[in-house]
Amino acid sequence: MDEKQPKGFKRAAKKANELLGNQEKLNSLIKSAKEKSKKKKKQLESVWNELQTLLRLLKAYRKKDYREIPWRTILYATAAIIYLVNPLDFIPDFIPITGLLDDVSVITFVIASIKSDLDKFKIWEEGKLNNEDEQDTARD
């Protein structure tokens, strides 16, 4: 953790560490993040695609479909989602214009910090989709 972490990230990472042991809470977090991100899609446009990748990664991890990933990556991804969902983070979300800027900065920080692991996850996803397509074609 040599990177310069955004304000409030350390607290979110601590919560993430506690939450990751509870499948029900992790599932609830993912659901809340999906709902909030859909409502705030325009404000999150700059990080939208990678945010969706983070959510898919956490879902695959929770379902134990994808486990070949460093703990730090899961911790960072979860912390970013906790930060996004928390309306009273460093800059409260209800403040017009700037309310989601800190969320975007945390998500950007996390994406940059775990980029190679996210790229590996995307390759895994593509392989999984290709396998499912091949199985569907074989059945037809």
Domain that holds residue 112: 9-139
18: Cα separation from own chain's centroid: 16
For the CA atoms of 112, 113, 116, 122, what is the dihedral angle to 10 degrees?
Answer: -70
Taking the C-alpha atoms of residue 61 and residue 55, their distance in angstroms, rounded to an integer, is 10
Contact 64, 113 (CB under 8 A): no
Taking the C-alpha atoms of residue 138 and residue 76, their distance in angstroms, rounded to an integer, is 39
2 assigned to some structural domain: no
1 assigned to some structural domain: no
26 assigned to some structural domain: yes
Contact 62, 42 (CB under 8 A): no
Residue 2, pLDDT above cutoff 50: no
Contact 45, 104 (CB under 8 A): no
In this prediction, residues 80-105 reach a mean pLDDT of: 73
In this prediction, residues 45-74 reach a mean pLDDT of: 95
pLDDT confidence band for 1 (50 / 70 / 90): very low
4 assigned to some structural domain: no
Number of domains in the chain: 1
114 assigned to some structural domain: yes
In this prediction, residues 26-39 reach a mean pLDDT of: 94
Render pLDDT for 103-135 as a digit per residue (tens, 0 to 9): 888 999 999 999 999 999 999 999 987 776 566
In this prediction, residues 54-82 reach a mean pLDDT of: 95
3 assigned to some structural domain: no
* pTM listed for this prediction: 0.84
Handedness of CA 5, 66, 123, 40 (dihedral sign): negative
53 assigned to some structural domain: yes
